[in-house]
Structure 1
Amino acid sequence: MKLPGNDAIAREADEHIVTRRVQLPRRVVERPLRQVSKRLLMALLVLVGTALIVYFDRAGYGDNSDDHVDLLDAFYYATVTLSTTGYGDITPVSDGARTINILVITPLRVVFLIILVGTTLEVLTERTREEWRLNRWRSTLRDHTVVVGFGTKGRSAIRTVCATGLKKEQVVVVDPSGKVIDAANAEGFVGVVGDGTRSDVLRRAEVHKARQIIIATQRDDTAVLVSLTARQLNKGAKIVAAVREEENAPLLRQSGADSVITSASAAGRLLGLSVLSPKAGRVMEDLIQQGSGLDIIERPAIKAEVGLSPRETDDLVVSVVRGHRVLGYDDPAVGKLQLTDRLITIVRSTTSPHPEIKAAPRERD
């Protein structure tokens, strides 16, 4: 396996050094042109409203030029007043006009100024809100899932995990492409733009607090480096990685991955099975698609199953995980089920799990 050259690594590091950041999913906002149009319309309404107030109370105003306030003078007064220019050529002279200026026109002046500087205020507010959301996200995030690589493999892995009940708020996507992270945000996932082989990028994804890490990068050498870095930051997380070539799987396991999936070989075996038996291939494809038809799941044995053989359980048990061993359902070493066993079963996706199964914590293999 070839590792990337120093020039390529340096180039990638320079490219991502500015773009590394955490992006929380954004709410859908209006287009800038629509926002500006709405602000202009609001400002115009305030201006017209102020002018009409002055015009209807024109007897209480004095004009230094002709002592008469008409509609044009009212709009002129509203304009210079709301913009705080205030030339002083038209002034309220009666008590009623001055009272209206205090109680009505002055608040309208404040509203008018807020509308004019609304863009700046919105930017400041958005930055404060985003910083608050980010700090809150960091403080509450625990036992989440980090997915490095949001390509075809990464997306499929996330959909499968979310189909089992994992909330989108508990998934963090790491990818070097800003456009890819934007796509992840659009689907409701938190994203970190950056190179997953760098420890500072993985720290931004809170890898040290993650329960499981999925590595779905495009290159096998990148997957090895990501696995090494992730395992250094988190000794207890479950790391699952995908490689293209089967010869690289042992190296990935040595780098810290608990499970390694060879994508090319797995696809080839499924193709071969589909050729020999199309229906069997269809069943296998159904099993690996969580949430439809048949699902294959791993769950702890419940109290009612202790002392039974795998064949005597309600679910179809295909394997029993005992300690670090995976035993077939017909393996004589299984004997009777124990409370510490974990069962790999095939169930229908519409079947609701036992209450004890839902509450049981996940264990590392």
Structure 2
Amino acid sequence: MPDAGVGPLVALARRLVLALGALVAAALLVYVQRDGYRDSNGTPLGLVDAFYYATVSLSTTGYGDVVPVTEAARLWTILLITPLRLLFLIVLVGTTVELLTERSRQAFRVRRWRSRVRDHVVVVGFGTKGKAAVDTLLGDVAEPDRIVVVDTDRTRLDAASALGLVTVRGDAAQSSVLRTAGLPHASALIVAVNRDDTAVLVTLTARELAPAIIITAAVRETENVHLLRQSGADSVVVSAETAGRLLGVATTTPNVVAVVEDLLTPDAGMSLSEREVEQSEVGGSPRHLRDIVLGVVRDGEVHQIDAPAVDALERGDRLLFVKRVTPTTKGAASR
């Protein structure tokens, strides 16, 4: 779970500095009053002896080989050494208690999140493809805490956590990792890993855990598309060949690529979207609507707008259309 605050190494370093400061202060106090202390060997106290006494005193070990014998030394021990001892113990014990408390608090937050979160999106892989997918989801007004990123790379997970996303570190091909991400209660899964064989394993595992979830996967090679579909993917995007086609089109008609990029970028300009047919549009033709309709979804199947089967819109149809995105409507989804 994302949590803003001081990093663990910085917090630990601060506590170590505070503990060492207490130790040095106690040693200097003893050294200044060294004439009031007696060594069991009868030798005068040096700086090392002062640090030794401060160490065993603050840690409450107390071997008794160095003891205060004058009233002034004992008074210094009461007024200064004892508070430093308490400070030293609070720092050490407090660090341990805080670590255990933080683990318990984090475990409680995870259990509470898993108990209440529903219909979230799980993104496997936070590389270039996964990050672009998350940016699109956030552009569609998705709440960051309803997006879970699963990856094995700590740097990528830190980047996802910085965006306010929930992160899970582990191999998504393992069912236990996907359960930790709450996959059985998720509405969609995006598989954006770098290897096609890994994408197949993740899809198989996810489909077994959540038979009704919508799975979208990216592959590098077209020949692996049928493997993803057989594994249970609802949609498969061929990343390498799609980029290659755009490169080929750009050599002859670069303006077409500019329009495609505009459609695929949700921030501004035009964007592809989907909405349900309104009551006033039932019975009409999708070619005569105010929106630029590209297709009609009926019973889970996509039809072109000139297909005879969708010449008359029916209740329950969904329209795939081009939406104009402005700064005031950025991310607003038509319903």
Q: How high is the TM-score relative to the length of structure 2?
A: 0.76
State the AA in 2 paired with 1:261: V
SS of 2:242 mapped into structure 1: helix
- Give the corresponding residue for 1:4: none
Residue 27 (str. 1) matches residue 9 (str. 2): no
Of the three residues 131, 136, 144, the one matched with 1:160 is 136
State the AA in 1 paired with 2:193: T
- Give the corresponding residue for 1:187: 163
State the AA in 1 paired with 2:192: A
Q: In the alignment, is the contact (CA less than 8 A) between 1:249 and 1:260 conserved in 2? A: yes
The runs of at least 4 aligned residues of structure 1 exceeding 6 Å deviation read 41-45, 79-85, 87-91, 106-112
Percent of aligned pairs with the same residue? 47
Of the three residues 122, 139, 142, the one matched with 2:118 is 142
- Give the corresponding residue for 2:206: 230
Of the three residues 218, 221, 237, the one matched with 2:194 is 218
Q: Which moved more, 1:293-302 or 1:32-41?
A: 32-41
* Alpha-carbon shift at residue 88 of structure 1 (Å): 9.4
CA gap of 1:329–1:90, structure 2 versus 1, over 3 A, is: farther
Residue deviations 1:180-222 (CA, integer Å, cap 9, x gap): 3233223322222222222222222221111101111111111
Of the three residues 105, 120, 131, the one matched with 2:107 is 131
Q: Quote the Cα distance in structure 1 between the aligned partners of 2:194 and 2:21.
A: 54
Q: Quote the Cα distance in structure 2 between the aligned partners of 1:201 and 1:41.
A: 39
Q: In the alignment, is the contact (CA less than 8 A) between 2:294 and 2:322 conserved in 1? A: yes
Of the three residues 305, 310, 316, the one matched with 1:329 is 305
- Give the corresponding residue for 1:285: 261
CA gap of 1:230–1:44, structure 2 versus 1, over 3 A, is: closer
* Alpha-carbon shift at residue 288 of structure 1 (Å): 0.9
Residue deviations 1:76-115 (CA, integer Å, cap 9, x gap): xxx9999988x89799xxxxxxxxx9xxxx9998677534
SS of 1:130 mapped into structure 2: helix
Q: Quote the Cα distance in structure 1 between the aligned partners of 2:156 and 2:5.
A: 18
Q: In the alignment, is the contact (CA less than 8 A) between 2:15 and 2:91 conserved in 1? A: no
Q: In the alignment, is the contact (CA less than 8 A) between 1:144 and 1:172 conserved in 2? A: yes
Q: Quote the Cα distance in structure 1 between the aligned partners of 2:228 and 2:148.
A: 22
Q: In the alignment, is the contact (CA less than 8 A) between 1:164 and 1:291 conserved in 2? A: no
SS of 2:295 mapped into structure 1: strand
Q: Quote the Cα distance in structure 1 between the aligned partners of 2:110 and 2:116.
A: 10
* Alpha-carbon shift at residue 352 of structure 1 (Å): 4.2
State the AA in 2 paired with 1:135: R
Residue deviations 1:236-295 (CA, integer Å, cap 9, x gap): 000011111111111211110001111122111211222221111101011111222111
Q: How high is the TM-score relative to the length of structure 1?
A: 0.70
Residue 204 (str. 1) matches residue 198 (str. 2): no
Q: Quote the Cα distance in structure 1 between the aligned partners of 2:149 and 2:7.
A: 26
Of the three residues 219, 242, 246, the one matched with 1:266 is 242
Q: Quote the Cα distance in structure 2 between the aligned partners of 1:261 and 1:309.
A: 30
Q: Quote the Cα distance in structure 2 between the aligned partners of 1:199 and 1:324.
A: 28
Q: Quote the Cα distance in structure 2 between the aligned partners of 1:286 and 1:142.
A: 32
- Give the corresponding residue for 2:152: 176
Of the three residues 246, 254, 276, the one matched with 2:252 is 276
CA gap of 1:147–1:107, structure 2 versus 1, over 3 A, is: same
CA gap of 1:168–1:349, structure 2 versus 1, over 3 A, is: same
Q: Quote the Cα distance in structure 2 between the aligned partners of 1:176 and 1:44.
A: 39
Question: In the comparison of the two structures, how many residue pairs are matched?
Answer: 313
Q: In the alignment, is the contact (CA less than 8 A) between 1:43 and 1:115 conserved in 2? A: no
